[in-house]
Amino acid sequence: MRSTRGLLGTFAAAALACVLAAQAAVAAGARPGTDPGPRTVVGEWVGTYVCAQGLTGLTLSIAEATPTSARALFHFYADPRNPKVPTGCFTMDGDYDPGTGRLRLRGGQWRLRPGGYRMVDFDGHVDAQGGRFSGKVGGAAACKRFDLGRRPSPAPARAECAIAMPVAQPGLVDAGGIGAALAADGRIDLDILFDFGQATLRSDGIGQLDELGRILLSPALSQRRVGLHGHTDAVGRADANRALSGRRAQAVRDYLVTRFAFPPGRLEVRGHGEDRLKLPAAPEDPVNRRVEVLLLD
């Protein structure tokens, strides 16, 4: 008979795989109107809000949502029930608590401003299924509530009212791959490559680190300690490579702590140098220069 611990581990892995696969659909560009998965925030939200001008249509495009930084584009327009509302848009910034689903956004800068209009703030919650974002509107007179869901926008955005949204990077492990590997194996080698002899994060790996940060904040993993283990190729002295691999793992840790407000003690850094090559048959290949992510407990 299998042990209780083994059964719980199997169930937990299956649950985590389902959760993260749903999150990955949005990260990879899921169409509006599809199920975005539990507590997914990034993407397009459509609905209405109420302020002094009355009921107003809204498309809220959220490009980033972490505990330390949230970015969005607020694009408002006439609702058929209140056709006199003009079109306008402005940027927003704020913060997001993935544990509670609370997202706070403040008005930033106008992109398209109708006469007499003021920016507003949002303070609301995303439901457990990631399908509804609702709450209070603040920052202007007579503002009440907003209610948004996942559906196609009825108002195509003008050039001023568009924001760059995250997309999956070709050739890199996507969010679904990260989540599935952690759920099944408790580890993954990320394709966070480094230039020869360097420990500086390259821009082509930042998207993956952002996905990793969101996954580690999910309820299924938010209490787990995580190992960040650096590796190098076999070019150069072994002692120098070991020190370099530690600096590479430290660079990943510093990014996650700064970007996602992880407690520093949650992330364990180690440097293995050239001792654990990913491609032993090609010890000098750049693919050996990587950072391994492991669930520790």
What is the rounded distance in angstroms from the CA atom of residue 90 to the CA atom of residue 146? 16
Q: What is the CA radius of gyration of the chain?
A: 22
Same domain, 186 and 212: yes
Cα-to-chain-centroid distance, residue 63: 9
Collapsing DSSP states into helix, strand and coil, what is residue 294?
strand
pLDDT in tens, 108-141: 999 999 999 999 999 999 987 778 999 999 988 7
Q: Is residue 98 one of the residues assigned to a domain?
A: yes
Which range has the worst mean pLDDT, 21-30, 90-99, 121-130, 276-285?
21-30
User: Which CATH number goes with the domain that contains 201?
Assistant: 3.30.1330.60
pLDDT for the residue 37: 38
Domain closes at, from 138, 161, 184? 161
Same domain, 56 and 126: yes
pLDDT in tens, 140-156: 878 999 999 998 889 88
Would you say 177 and 20 are in contact if contact means Cβ atoms under 8 Å apart?
Answer: no
Task: Rank 1-5, 166-170, 208-212 by mean pLDDT and report only the highest.
Answer: 208-212
pLDDT for the residue 38: 41
166 falls in which pLDDT band (50, 70, 90)?
Answer: low
pLDDT for the residue 40: 66
Q: Please tell me which residue, 39 or 11, carries the higher pLDDT value.
A: 39
Q: Please tell me which residue, 38 or 296, carries the higher pLDDT value.
A: 296
Residues 6+ apart with CB under 8 A from 98: 39, 41, 67, 214, 217, 218, 219, 222
Would you say 216 and 262 are in contact if contact means Cβ atoms under 8 Å apart?
Answer: yes
Same domain, 131 and 225: no
Same domain, 205 and 278: yes
User: Which CATH number goes with the domain that contains 145?
Assistant: 2.40.128.620
Query: Is the model's pTM score more than 0.75?
Result: no
Q: Is residue 8 one of the residues assigned to a domain?
A: no
Strands annotated E in the chain = 43-51, 54-65, 70-77, 88-97, 102-112, 121-126, 132-138, 145-149, 187-190, 226-231, 267-271, 290-295
User: CB-side exposure of 110: number of CA atoms within 13 Å?
Assistant: 10
Which range has the worst mean pLDDT, 27-36, 51-60, 137-146, 228-237?
27-36
Which domain covers residue 81, as residue numbers? 43-161
What is the rounded distance in angstroms from the CA atom of residue 240 to the CA atom of residue 35? 48
Same domain, 66 and 97: yes
How many domains does one find in the chain? 2
Q: Is residue 231 one of the residues assigned to a domain?
A: yes
211 falls in which pLDDT band (50, 70, 90)?
Answer: confident
Q: Is residue 257 one of the residues assigned to a domain?
A: yes
